[in-house]
Chains A and B, each alone.
Chain A
Amino acid sequence: MIDQLAFLISEGFKNFFRNKIISFLCILTIFINFSFLGSLFVIGYNTSSLVDFFRSKYSFEVFFVENVDEISYQKIIDDLENKNIISSINLIDKQESAKIFKQEFGEDVVEMLGYNPLPISLKVFLNENDFEFDVVDSLIKNIQSIDIVDEVEYRGKYIDSIEDRINLAIFIFIIFVVAIIFLSFQIISNTVRLSLASRKDFIQILKYNGASTLFIKIPFFIESLINAIIGSAFSYYFVKYLFILINSYFDLTIQIDNNLWIWIIGFSSIIGLYSSNNSMKRNLNE
């Protein structure tokens, strides 16, 4: 049994080297398909960052008039904190504002002007789950009508429609990915089938010499696994370095999932084994 298994494993590796052209074709097919798929998945993975970016718009800022007293703005803070739609509030005092200004513009506003003209403000975070644009809109109008409030800045006016479009884009993207997966499966499957068809005689010889179906299949499975692992490993490194290059060239921060290599190699192995098994069934008339 051990001798037989050792023979079958070594046959799988030998077949890989014996059929160099076919092995190369299989690896190339897997590489092209999984480079494409891998890139799509990196893009998909990063759309969540895009959604987070838009989600950050679930907030507005309240700027108070000059010389506002603490009791007055504290009362507004207390009122807002009691509302379900508000998740949290950050108070930005004059010193904090000056710090932010320096971070953003690189200048110390107090040194520049001799005094701090920046107002005290509030950064109000909205509860995403209870978000309703009409409620937020009416709340903002109420706040704007308060005497000590100079201005309310809210950039999330179009958040509803933006999110709708993002969701639609994600839906289309998923359909596209499923279609590409299906296409990849077909292409890889056909390449494997082609490689097996070219060795129909070899399968026949094994059959006539008393080889069981499993005995015939195992070396082909091993060969398929080798092809899948090599092809997908190349595609993983291609995708990884492609996005590193894109990040550095366009100064982007596209993230690559740490587990990308697992699913690329795992998925290609599954497709390779499944295709081999299917093609073998036809050749063995199972």
Chain B
Amino acid sequence: MVELENTSFNYNKDSGIFDINLNIKDGEFCFLVGPTGSGKSSLLKLIYFDLIPDDGNVKVLGFSSKKTKKKSIHKLRKKIGVIFQDYKLLNQRTVYENIALPLHINGLGRSKINPLVEEALELTDLLEYKNKYPSQLSGGEQQRVCIARAIVKNPDIILADEPTGNLDPTAAYKILKILEQINKEGTTVIMATHNYKLISEKEYRVIELNEGELISK
């Protein structure tokens, strides 16, 4: 599903990702941990081909970073849901419109979009906020909108980049529960975090990075 072979990406001499070998199987839930600047976000970016490695190869869902052309990257991204720490929501659109966006991108008609968005809203407990704008929601609620947007297209992989980073413990726990539920339905979840307390309570695989190098996998 996700395979990194001797992958390196250099921002400059001292920062980046260095010679990483990693394999994540279908349906796995794993945490990606490490201090700030350790390369967690860069690794996720390599997985959704926002960064292309300088050396080595990244294989995701049959797409290879070596062979995939720039104009075909969107085909891979249609199969991946990305959750950002800063939510990346469209503030001029309602919660419903934000969540429906990936489905419009996938070319679905309104009649198909409506039940899928409703389902995602229900799963993330956002039904009552569907006509509100992101600015009218709390941080935790906005993060749930981001999750709903990521899961609505039923992706094969969810990449969550510090989804609990800006949230209080209760909201963070709620987010983790939603991701666990998605994982139970068969979606692979890779969650970057430095919230060690959250990880310690779970028995999922932990991939640890430090200064761009893999410490444990």
Chain A residues with CB under 8 Å of chain B are 1, 3-4, 7, 18, 201-202, 204-213, 215, 285-286
Cβ-defined contact, A209 with B90, below 8 A: no
**Interface contact A207-B77, CB-CB below 8 Å:** yes
A88 → chain B closest CB, angstroms: 67
Inter-chain CA distance A220–B23, complex, in Å, is: 40
The docked-state distance in angstroms from the alpha carbon of A277 to that of B44 is 30
Name which of B104-112, B173-181, B202-210 contacts chain A: B104-112
By a CB distance below 8 angstroms, the chain A residues around B74 are: 207, 210-213, 215
On chain B, the number of residues with a Cβ less than 8 Å from chain A's Cβ atoms is 27
Q: How far is the CA of A215 from the CA of B103 in the complex (A)?
A: 13
Residue in chain A with minimal CB distance to B71: A213
State which of A1, A18, A206, A208 has its C-beta within 8 Å of the C-beta of B50.
A208
B78 within 8 A of A: yes
Q: Using Cβ atoms and an 8 Å threshold, which residues of chain A touch B76?
A: 210
**Are A206 and B88 also in contact (CB < 8 A) when A212-B71, A212-B74, A213-B71 are?**
no
Which residue of chain B is the closest to A19 with respect to CB atoms?
A: B92
Q: Is B96 an interface residue (CB 8 A)?
A: no
Give the Cβ gap from A20 to chain B, nearest Cβ, in Å: 11
- Contact indicator A209/B109 (Cβ below 8 Å): no
The digit string for B62-78, where 1 denotes a CB below 8 A from any CB of A, is: 00000000110011111
Which single member of A3, A4, A205 contacts B88 (CB below 8 Å)? A205
Q: What are some 5 contacts across the A-B interface (CB < 8 A)? A: A204-B88, A205-B90, A207-B74, A209-B77, A211-B74
B88 engages A210 (CB within 8 Å): no
Instruction: List the A side residues contacting B90 at CB < 8 Å.
Output: 202, 205
State how many angstroms separate the Cβ of A130 from the closest Cβ of chain B: 62
Q: Indicate if the CB atoms of A209 and B48 lie closer than 8 Å.
A: no
Please pick, from A7, A208, A212, A285, the residue contacting B104 in the complex, using a CB distance under 8 A: A7
Known contacts A202-B90, A208-B82; is-contact A215 B109 (Cβ 8 Å): no
Question: Which residues of B lie under 8 Å from residue A4 when comparing CB positions?
Answer: 104, 107
How far is A146 from B125 in the complex, measured between Cα atoms in Å?
110
Complex alpha-carbon distance, A1 and B104, angstroms: 10
| Residue numbers in B under 8 Å from A208 (CB-CB) | 48, 50, 77, 82, 88
Q: Is there contact, CB below 8 Å, between A3 and B102?
A: no
Partner of A3, one of B75, B109, B149: B109
Interface residues of B in 141-180 (CB under 8 A from A): 149, 153
